[in-house]
A and B are shown apart, each in its own frame.
Chain A
Amino acid sequence: MFPYSTILQPLFWMSMGVLIALFFMGIKYWLADANIKMNGWKWSVLSGWFFFLALTVAAAFTLMGEGEWAAGKRFLLFFGIVLLLAGSGIWKLLKKA
């Protein structure tokens, strides 16, 4: 995020780590309130989905940062829709299994 700063760069990634930890702490309660019992593989699927979502967002914005705005937007739209569809499927799977 701050490629030229030796101070802000590590601070940024530490903050990202904290945010992700807080996200998973919170999501635990959302899942419990939706009566979803989680186990190892379910957490893996959910984490994988979140990882790919973050990766898609990062990739689209990398293209935009390069000056390829149209490519970035199309990438986000295409893979965003794929991930949303996959997300709703995963949600159903988590509820069912």
Chain B
Amino acid sequence: MHRRDFLKFTGLASGTLALGGAAAAGYMSGTDKKGNTGWGRAPYAKDQFFNRKPFLVVSPTYEKVSTPQRIQYLDNLFRRNGELGFYIRSLGERGLEKVKEEGISSLPQELKAYYTDHPKAFEEFFLTSESAQQQRANWPEHKNRYLLTDAWSKAHASPLRGRDAFPPQPQGPPEEWDFEGVNPDPLKLKSPKHGAELIKKITHTFGATLVGVTAIKDEWVYQGILRGVGKTNFEKPAHWKNAIVFAIPHEWESFYANPTYGTSYEAYTMLRFIAGKLEAFIREIGFSSRSHVPPNSYDLIIPPLAIDAGLGEQGRHGVVITPELGANTRLAAVSTDMPLDADIPVDLGIMKFCNKCKICAEECPSGAISFDDKPTKVVRGYRRWCTDQDKCFKAWNQVATSSARGCRVCLAVCPYSRKNNWIHTFARELDPRDPTGAIASAMLAMQKQFFDYPGGSQYLPPPDGNNKTYGKAPDWLRTEEWFDF
């Protein structure tokens, strides 16, 4: 063979091999577990890698349309259902049937007022109760298949239960509880800027992936109930000045395999540990503190605080979407009187993307997510996306789990939740920099044409669906990989 021919064929072979190398490198980048962002994977705040500076805005992207109102505690599904459930149990064995027959007018004053304004929520409560009974009846059929995931979820839930749960529930008014154990001889903080910088670093070392700071607006404080005090109407305590808001993701592979293989408890437990440690740290350096943690130990509503703190924007599914974690963003906060420089909100084009996208609405098994082209509902003075909590909770009570431990399909299918690898990061960086919206449209077209989605009811058990999950469950949650049954 001539030298020239040799070089020609070597060139061709090398080009082909280089393409093979590109395929292999791409494949490995897709499988790389480093793409599973979060849990303080990188030290010293490097997990919060997205440069928010070009996207800072004066006002957050939610739209204020009238005088804001504080959230009444019965507006919270879990508190409302807890209250109604408590009342039903107080009526004895036939309580449920009795309340169903006698209707809203038979309820105690506060519940009556709420359900008179929201009669559909009252109907959904009974539908959900029936679903819950069915879910329990179906469980023996599913329990072998989901043995590992149920055990995994219960293991994560175990630190949340009982009187010893950490951080401890407030006992007594905030003016006392939030100051318990506060260092009586604090040093002088150099400046609020130093305060914010220090507190963020510390929160990252406790395991938070994202941390932001914001001043607490009155409208983000619950009304009608105060932990440690009970039912009461109260003004925002003067020392609830700032909130440190932080986020972590769910474990990535189980999260993709929602609804049946995921659980909320693993993120909840981590958030509670971070919050509890931060609460203790802040008191040690001389300031008051109070943690607000999932599943339901809050006096503040956290998502708007996260938006104010510049962590992200609200998505159509009602959850905060952040550039690092997408919709796989679970939040908690600590309120404090420590002087802290507030962060600035961001506009990453997420709300605009949601106007077009609707994937979560199409995939929601309960029809709880709006298909409107723009947010239409005005809630407590803000026009925003608003999911139907009661419908959503019904789906929790339908999927093949041992109890209502959540669904999270809308979070898993959200295009922003894709892994932190080069293609998705490239898309996330490019889209907010494109004022024309062309990139968003192209990406959305690819999301819809290239990716498979099982479709709404398919996530439910038969006869409505087929127990589908969005992604494939990891082997460590698939019972059949480890046990004979």
A residues with a Cβ closer than 8 A to B are 1-3, 12, 15-16, 18-30, 33, 50, 53-55, 57-68, 70-71, 74-75, 78
Cβ distance A55 to chain B, nearest Cβ, rounded Å: 8
Question: Could you tell me if A1 and B450 are in contact, using CB atoms closer than 8 angstroms?
Answer: no
- CB-CB under 8 A from A62, the residues of chain B are 26-27, 29-30, 421-423
Residue of B nearest to A77 (CB): B450
Given the interface pairs A19-B21, A58-B22, A71-B450, the reply to whether A1 lies near B14 with Cβ below 8 Å is no
Question: Could you tell me if B452 and A27 are in contact, using CB atoms closer than 8 angstroms?
Answer: no
Cβ distance A79 to chain B, nearest Cβ, rounded Å: 10
Question: Could you tell me if A64 and B7 are in contact, using CB atoms closer than 8 angstroms?
Answer: no
State the CA gap A62–B39 with chains docked (Å).
23
Interface string of B8-39 (1 = CB under 8 A from A): 11111011011101111111111110110000
Question: Could you tell me if A26 and B25 are in contact, using CB atoms closer than 8 angstroms?
Answer: no
State the CA gap A55–B22 with chains docked (Å).
7
B471 within 8 A of A: yes
Known: A18-B14, A29-B8, A61-B22. 11 other contacts (CB 8 A): A15-B21, A23-B12, A27-B11, A30-B12, A61-B27, A62-B423, A64-B26, A64-B30, A65-B28, A65-B31, A66-B31
Selected from A1, A26, A65, the residue in CB contact (under 8 A) with B15 is A26
Selected from B23, B35, B471, the residue in CB contact (under 8 A) with A58 is B23
B446 within 8 A of A: yes
- CB-CB under 8 A from B25, the residues of chain A are 1, 12, 16, 58, 61
- CB-CB under 8 A from A68, the residues of chain B are 30, 451
Interface residue tally on B, bucketed by range: 35 or more
B4 within 8 A of A: yes
- CB-CB under 8 A from A30, the residues of chain B are 8, 11-12
State the CA gap A23–B12 with chains docked (Å).
6
- CB-CB under 8 A from A27, the residues of chain B are 11, 15
Cβ distance A18 to chain B, nearest Cβ, rounded Å: 8
B419 within 8 A of A: yes
Residue of B nearest to A55 (CB): B22
State the CA gap A79–B12 with chains docked (Å).
22
**Which DSSP category, helix, strand, loop or mixed, fits chain A's interface?**
helix
Question: Could you tell me if B11 and A57 are in contact, using CB atoms closer than 8 angstroms?
Answer: no
Cβ distance B429 to chain A, nearest Cβ, rounded Å: 15
Interface string of B25-62 (1 = CB under 8 A from A): 11111111011000000000000000000000000000
26 pairs across A/B with beta carbons < 8 Å?
A1-B25, A2-B28, A3-B32, A16-B22, A19-B18, A20-B15, A22-B14, A23-B14, A25-B11, A26-B9, A26-B10, A26-B11, A26-B15, A29-B11, A30-B11, A55-B22, A57-B26, A60-B26, A61-B27, A61-B30, A62-B422, A65-B26, A65-B32, A66-B35, A74-B450, A78-B450
Question: Could you tell me if B19 and A26 are in contact, using CB atoms closer than 8 angstroms?
Answer: no
Cβ distance B413 to chain A, nearest Cβ, rounded Å: 12
B472 within 8 A of A: yes
B449 within 8 A of A: yes
Residue of A nearest to B18 (CB): A19
- CB-CB under 8 A from A61, the residues of chain B are 22-27, 30
- CB-CB under 8 A from B31, the residues of chain A are 65-66
Question: Could you tell me if B28 and A22 are in contact, using CB atoms closer than 8 angstroms?
Answer: no
- CB-CB under 8 A from B8, the residues of chain A are 26, 29-30, 33
Selected from A22, A29, A59, the residue in CB contact (under 8 A) with B4 is A29
State the CA gap A54–B428 with chains docked (Å).
21
Cβ distance B291 to chain A, nearest Cβ, rounded Å: 35
Residue of A nearest to B19 (CB): A57
State the CA gap A22–B15 with chains docked (Å).
8
State the CA gap A2–B28 with chains docked (Å).
7
Question: Could you tell me if A75 and B450 are in contact, using CB atoms closer than 8 angstroms?
Answer: yes
Cβ distance B401 to chain A, nearest Cβ, rounded Å: 22
Question: Could you tell me if A23 and B21 are in contact, using CB atoms closer than 8 angstroms?
Answer: no
Question: Could you tell me if B14 and A19 are in contact, using CB atoms closer than 8 angstroms?
Answer: yes
Cβ distance A67 to chain B, nearest Cβ, rounded Å: 6
Cβ distance A80 to chain B, nearest Cβ, rounded Å: 11
Residue of A nearest to B11 (CB): A26
- CB-CB under 8 A from A75, the residues of chain B are 446, 450
Question: Could you tell me if B451 and A26 are in contact, using CB atoms closer than 8 angstroms?
Answer: no
State the CA gap A8–B18 with chains docked (Å).
16
- CB-CB under 8 A from A57, the residues of chain B are 19, 22-23, 26
Contact residues of B between 408 and 436, Cβ < 8 Å to A: 418-419, 421-423
- CB-CB under 8 A from B423, the residues of chain A are 59, 62-63
State the CA gap A23–B7 with chains docked (Å).
9
